[in-house]
Amino acid sequence: MSNAADPVAWVRRRLGYEPAQPALFIQALTHRSAAGDNNERLEFLGDAVLNLLLAEYLYRRFTEADEGTLSRLRSSLVSGEALARVAARIQLGEVLALGAGELKTGGFRRESILADALEALFGALYLDGGLELARRVALELMEPALAGLDELAELKDPKTLLQEWLQARGLALPRYQVEGVEGESHAQHFRVSCEVPALTQRTWGEGSSRRRAEQSAAAALLARVNP
């Protein structure tokens, strides 16, 4: 483990829950690099649970929002970066079981590992205590992010703004193309182009995900055509 903290005691202290099946939570907090059952299957389940709970929350809270806005808001909550921030805040890395290699390279601080472990934790919560328990914990842990959604809901991302600008002028939608991907799987860097042939305009953007790179490229093109 990254330290000697007891994962079950951590669940009691941090989440205010007494596990009926402690082994589930030990598994949820065991990375694939460590010995024993790892958290990949629970991560798969927890991802679906968290997406469902947050989709329901957003649906009920933002009654006038369209599908695109709801999807954008949910993406902002369940991105690897956002989940890693939650995991870091509750010091989840302290109780992660990691192999020697990951320990040596600081895996308990790595964004992808923290985000995956948080999803696995929600898988364990769902199996052990049901959907209501998972909902309570999700809303508590995500509260800081949920509090800032009103302002975010009013903002449109660059891709949406560019699309609306083009549609208002009867022009075809932009074409996005991945021009390059660098780095290891857990720390990739994308370079993407955005092209509007009718305007003979093409821009490029970069980011830690394809989506971010596309947003960056769209923002650059929008700045050109609508300064």
Write down the pLDDT at residue 107: 63
Please report the pLDDT score of residue 177 as a whole number: 95
Burial class (CB in 10 A: 0-12, 13-18, 19+), 204: middle
Do 146 and 172 lie in one domain? The reply is no
Would residue 62 count as lying in a domain?
A: yes
The reported pLDDT for the residue numbered 68 is 74
Task: Give domain status of residue 1, yes or no.
Answer: no
Of the residues 47, 102, 116, 157, only one is catalytic, namely 47
Tally of structural domains, the chain? 2
Residues 42 and 141 in one domain: yes
81 is catalytic: no
Domain boundary among 108, 123, 154: 154
Tell which wins on pLDDT, 170 or 100: 170
Between 145 and 101, residue with greater pLDDT: 145
CA dihedral 184, 185, 186, 191 (to 10 degrees): 80
Q: Look over the chain and give the mean of its residue pLDDT values, rounded to a whole number.
A: 88
Examine the domain organization and report whether 44 and 80 are in the same domain. Answer: yes
CA 177 → CA 22, 100, 138, 186, 214, distances in Å? 46, 39, 35, 21, 9
Reported as a single tens digit per residue, the pLDDT across 95-104 is 998 887 777 7
Domain with 204 in it: 158-225
pLDDT of residue 2: 43
Tens digits of per-residue pLDDT, 198-208?
899 999 999 88
Per annotation, catalytic residue among 102, 111, 116, 119: 119
pLDDT band with cut points at 50, 70 and 90 for residue 33: confident
Q: Identify whether residues 121 and 86 lie together within a single domain.
A: yes
**Is the domain of 220 the same as that of 117?**
no
CATH number for 140: 1.10.1520.10
Residue 134 and residue 183 share a domain: no
pLDDT at position 180, please?
Answer: 93
The angle subtended at Cα 58 by Cα 124 and Cα 14, nearest 5°, is 35
Give residue 67's pLDDT: 80
Beta bridge partners of residue 199, listed in sequence order: none
Q: Is the pLDDT of residue 26 over 90?
A: yes
| 47 has catalytic annotation | yes
Contacts of 179 (CB under 8 A, 6+ apart): 191, 192, 193, 204
The answer to whether residue 185 scores a pLDDT higher than 90 is no
Note whether 171 and 135 are same-domain residues.
Answer: no
Highest mean pLDDT among 44-53, 158-167, 209-218: 44-53
Q: From residue 74, how far is each of 96, 100, 107, 143 by CA, in Å? A: 26, 35, 26, 14
Query: What distance in Å separates the CA atoms of residue 74 and residue 112, rounded to the nearest whole number?
Result: 18
The verdict on 134 and 48 lying in the same domain is yes
The larger pLDDT score, comparing residue 119 to residue 67, is at 119
Q: What three-state secondary structure class fits 136? A: helix
Q: In terms of domains, do 207 and 128 share one?
A: no
